[in-house]
Amino acid sequence: MMEDRAGTLDDGKLADVLVLKASHDDPYENFARASMQDIELLVLAGAPIYGEARFLDVFRGNLPEGYSQIEVGGREMFVKGDPEGLYNRIREKVGFRKTLDYLPFEPRAREAPPDRKPAGAAECGFSRRFPGEPSSGPHWTR
């Protein structure tokens, strides 16, 4: 029965918990206007998924295998998985410094992927743009 495992925040039960920065007096308004930068801790089914490094005590101070640290809005965060590696693999595949709106951080510096413009891009004077990329400024970067 689910009542034995869920429904309250008690020892031995699964919990989904979201801790947000208090940006508004009204908790519902705070939740409705929250962004990724407002998340302080996210726990799903009792497992920490994402949070500020100050919550590392849930791991006894050390990140277990399968977690990584990133910087979001100037804050050191932990996250389950390797979104920095994902970002870098995407940039390597597309051949330029792609920005992903749903990943709210910039990967730490790593060797840049080779510049791989589509064939004919320089010759005909156009550059390919993808959704979410700015329409001005240099497009192909290292």
Q: The pTM is what?
A: 0.63
Confidence at residue 6, expressed as pLDDT on a 0 to 100 scale: 63
pLDDT for the residue numbered 106: 79
The rounded distance, in Å, linking the Cα atoms of 40 and 53 is 9
Residues of the chain short of pLDDT 50, as ranges, are 112-113, 116-142
- Taking alpha carbons only, the member of 78, 75, 96 closest to residue 87 is 96
Residues 69 and 71: their CA atoms lie apart, in Å, by 7
Kindly list the domain boundaries of the chain, sorted by start residue.
Answer: 2-81
pLDDT of amino acid 9: 73
pLDDT at 60: 77
Q: How does pLDDT run across 109-132, given as a tens digit for each residue? A: 655 445 544 444 443 333 444 444
CA 86 to chain centre: 10
Question: Which neighbouring-strand residues pair with 77?
Answer: 52, 70
